[in-house]
Chains A and B, each alone.
Chain A
Amino acid sequence: MLRYGVAIWAVTLAIAMSVPFAYSLLVAEPSVGKTLFLPGETTHGHYQIELKCSACHVAGGGVNNDSCRDCHQALKEYDTHPAKKFRDPTNAHRLEKIDARECVTCHREHEPHNTSEMGVTLPTNYCVYCHDEIAKSRPSHAKFEFNTCTASGCHNYHDNTALYEDFLFKHVGEPDVLDDPHVPPLTHDVDPAKRVSEPDAPQQVKFNETLASDWRETAHAASGVNCNGCHQQKLDDVQGPQWHDQVAIETCEKCHQNEHDGFVQGMHGMRLAVGLPPMTVGAARLPMKADAAHRQLSCVSCHDDHRFDTRYAAVDACLKCHDDQHSLAYKSSSHYELWLAEEAGAAAAGTGVSCATCHMPRVEKDRKVVVEHNQNATLQPSEGMVRTACMNCHGLQFSLDSLADPQQIPNCFATKPSVHVESLEMAKEWFEAKEREKEARKKK
C-alpha cells in the first residue's frame, strides 16, 4: 500500500514539474535560460528563432508540417514532392523506408553532426528509396550514383522548375550571355495627380530642408504619401493616431504588403514573423562588419528613411553589413562593372547587376513585376535563382554550370564556370531519339 502511495506521489510530482517546464519552453518569452534546453546547435536556417520553441514545436514537443509551411510558403507553389503525393495507401511500403509525408523525416533540427546542405539529415543517396529503377525509363542514368542526383545541378527534391526535361530542351543552345540581357522593369502604380510637395508634419515636429527635399524625390511624395501618412500611427485601441518619429514595420506593410511578407520570410525579418525582437547584425553567423554589429534589421535598415533610394538598397546597404568573401568579391566582378555602367548612364536601364538583382530578384506576381524581398527564396537551394535571376541575362546551360561550380560562390561569379552540367545534352538526346522513333512508327 505504501509503495502504491509513493507511486501516486511520484506521478503527481512529475506532472507538477512538467507543467512549468512545458510552459517555459512553448509559451514563455524567449530567455537566455532557454538555451539550456536546446538539444543541439540549430541550423543556419533556424538559429535566429531557436529560443522561440513554439515557432516550430507543438504541445508535446513534436514538429508538424504546418509549422514548416508557415514560413516556407514558396514550397506550396512548386513542390515536386508535396506530402499529398504520398498519402495514397499504395505508398505504404515506401513510407516504411522514408516517410515523405513529414518534413522532419529529411530535415531534423539540432543535429549539427548529421546535417548537410539545405538542412538535410538523411544520407545523400535518399533518392534511391523510390527511384531505384530510374535506369529502366532513363537508360542514360545507369552510369550515375544516387548521391549525385541532387549534388550535380540536375535535380532537386522540391524545386525543379528550371530542371525538368521539357524546360531543359526548350533552352538547349542558348548563348552564355543572351542578346538583350536585362531585368524586367518594375511595375509602378503611381498616379501623378496625387503628387504632394509640402510636408504636412505638425508644427512641433522639427525637420530640416534636406529631409524634406529627400522626401519630395521619392515615390512616396509622388503617390501622395505625406509625413502624417507614415508618422501618425495608431498603436493601440485606447489612443487615437499620434506622431511617432520611428515608423513601425506594420505601417510600411499597409501599402507594401508583398515586400513585407517577403521580408519576414527571409533571414532579415524572420524573427519578426514569430514575434521576436528584430535581428541584429551582431547576432548573424555570417561574417559581418564589426561597426555594424549594433544595427537592427527593419525596412529602413536598407531603405534609408526619407530618401528610400532603391539603388542604395541594392548594393551599398548590403555591403554596409555583409563582410564575407562572396560579398567582398562583388566589386571585382563583371556584374559590378555593369552596375557602374548603368549608374553612369552608359548602359541601358536594367542591365546593371547588383546584389539585389540576384538575391532579391524582380518577379511577376499577379501580373505585376515586384521585388522578392525574401532574399533566401532563391537560395533554397540556389537553383531557385536560375529562372528568377540568371536567365534574365544568361542561357540556361551557363546558369546551371555556374551554380554547380563551388568556386563561383567565393569569387562572386567573377569567372566562367569550370563545371559542366550534362542535363541539357541528355534532354536533347532523349527528345531527338523519341522524335526518330516517332518518324519510324509513321513509316510503318
Chain B
Amino acid sequence: MSLRNYGALAICAIATLVIGLAGCGGTANGSSAGPATASGGISPKKFADAVHAVMMADRTVYTKHVVNRLKSQESPVTPSEYWKDEDNTIPLPAQMFRMGSEIVSEDEEAGFQYALKSKWPLNEQNKAATPMEIEALDYIAEHDDNFYGEEELGGKKYLVAVYADKAVANACFDCHNNHTNRAADYPEFKMGDTMGGVIVRVPLD
C-alpha cells in the first residue's frame, strides 16, 4: 500500500472521527502520532492512530447511545453474548468491534487489520498470538502509553500499534469478572483498569 493511499484513508478516518465526536462527545485513546513523511504522505504510525480513533469513537457511540440507552429505558431488547441465538438481543460492544474487524480483514484493499486482545482473554482466540503482542499487552497494562513496534509475519513486515482498552462502564467489567470462561488468575477488574488492547497492524512493505 502506498503512502498516498494511507493519506487518503487517514483523511476519511479523521473526517469520520470528527463527525463521530461531534455527536457523542466521547474521547478516543492514543494521540502520539508521528509527523507526516517527507513526501507529504502520512506515516503508518499516524495512520494507525487515526483508524484507532475512529474505532474507539464508533464503539463509544454504540455503547453509550445504543446499549446504555436500551438499559436505561428498561427495554426488552438487551445485549447478549448469544445474540445470534436469542430473540430481542443485540451484540455486545466487544462483539460489534470484532465483527467490524472481520469485515475489514475480508477487504484486501483496506490496507490494515485490527483486533481486540487481552492478557486475560475470555475467548482463546483473543489471546496474544506473537511475541510482540505479548510484549505489547504487558507494556500497555503497566504504562499509560501506547505501544509501537515492527514485526515480520509470513514474510511481511508490519507496524504493530497497540492501544490500551480500558473498563469504561460497569457492565463491561461486571460481565468479564463473572464470566464462566475466566481463568483462575483472572483479575477483579474495576473502572478504569486496562482490560486488553486494540492491536492495529499496518503492512510496511
Residues of A whose CB lies within 8 Å of any CB of B are: 78, 82, 84-85, 87-92, 95, 137, 161, 166-167, 430-431, 434, 438, 441
- Residue B49, interface by CB 8 Å: no
Q: Find residues 122-170 in chain B having any chain A CB closer than 8 Å to their own CB.
A: 124-125, 129-130, 133, 153-154, 156, 158
A84 touches B102 (CB 8 A): yes
What B residues does A87 contact at CB under 8 A? 105-106, 113
Smallest beta-carbon distance A439→chain B, Å: 11
Contact assessment for B180 and A89 in the assembled complex, using a CB-CB cutoff below 8 Å:
no
Answer whether residue B85 sits at the interface, using C-beta atoms and an 8 A cutoff. yes
Question: Are B102 and A85 in contact (CB-based, < 8 A)?
Answer: yes
Q: Which residues of A contact B106 (CB under 8 A)?
A: 84, 87
A155 vs B102: C-alpha distance in the bound complex, in angstroms?
A: 23
Q: Are B113 and A89 in contact (CB under 8 A)?
A: yes
Complex formed: what's the CA distance from A406 to B188 in Å? 47
CB-nearest residue of chain B to A87: B105
Interface residues of B in 103-120 (CB under 8 A from A): 103, 105-106, 113, 115
Complex Cα gap A167–B181 (Å): 15
What is the distance, in angstroms, from B78's C-beta to the closest C-beta of chain A?
A: 15
Is A89 touching B124 in the complex (CB atoms < 8 A)?
no
Nearest B residue to A96, CB-CB:
B154
Q: For chain B residues 152-205, which have a beta carbon within 8 Å of chain A? A: 153-154, 156, 158, 178, 180-183, 188, 201
State A92–B81 Cα separation when bound (angstroms). Answer: 28
21 A-B residue pairings within 8 Å (CB atoms): A78-B84, A82-B102, A84-B102, A84-B103, A84-B105, A85-B102, A85-B125, A87-B105, A87-B113, A88-B129, A88-B201, A89-B153, A89-B154, A89-B158, A90-B129, A92-B153, A137-B183, A166-B81, A430-B180, A434-B180, A438-B178
Instruction: Note all chain B residues with C-beta closer than 8 A to A430.
Output: 180
Say whether B180 contacts A95, CB under 8 Å.
Answer: no
Report Cα–Cα, A47/B201, bound state, in Å: 43
What is the CA–CA distance of A78 and B180 in the complex, to the nearest angstrom?
A: 23
Residues of A within 8 A of B115 (CB): 88, 90
CB neighbours (8 Å) of A90 from chain B are 115, 129-130, 133, 153
Residue of B nearest to A166 (CB): B82
Distance in angstroms between the alpha carbons of A82 and B125 in the assembled complex:
13
The listed residue (B81, B113, B178) touching A88 by CB distance below 8 A is: B113
A221 to chain B, nearest CB (A): 36
Q: How long is the Cα–Cα vector from A382 to B62 in the complex, in angstroms?
A: 38
Q: Find chain B residues with CB under 8 A from A434 CB.
A: 180, 182
Q: Which residues of B contact A78 (CB under 8 A)?
A: 84
Indicate the member of A95, A161, A438 with the most B CB atoms within 10 Å. A438
A84 to B105, CA, bound (A): 6
Give 9 nearest A-B pairs by CB, closest first.
Answer: A92-B154, A90-B129, A434-B180, A87-B105, A89-B153, A92-B153, A84-B106, A84-B102, A90-B130
Q: Contacts of A441 on B, CB cut-off 8 Å? A: 188
Docked-complex contact A89 and B178, CB < 8 angstroms: no
**Per-residue interface assignment for chain B, residues 85 to 106, with 1 indicating a CB less than 8 Å from any chain A CB and 0 otherwise:** 1000000000000000011011
Query: Looking across the interface, which residue of chain A has its beta carbon closest to that of B156?
Result: A89
CA–CA, A306 to B188, complex, Å?
A: 68
8 new A-B contacts, CB < 8 A, other than A84-B103, A88-B115, A92-B154, are A84-B106, A89-B113, A89-B156, A95-B154, A137-B124, A137-B181, A431-B180, A434-B180
The verdict on A161 contacting B85 (CB below 8 Å), with A87-B106, A87-B113, A88-B113 known, is: yes
The residues of A that contact B182 with a CB separation of less than 8 Å are 434
**Distance in Å from the Cβ of B25 to the closest Cβ of chain A?**
32
Complex CA gap A137/B124 in Å reads 9
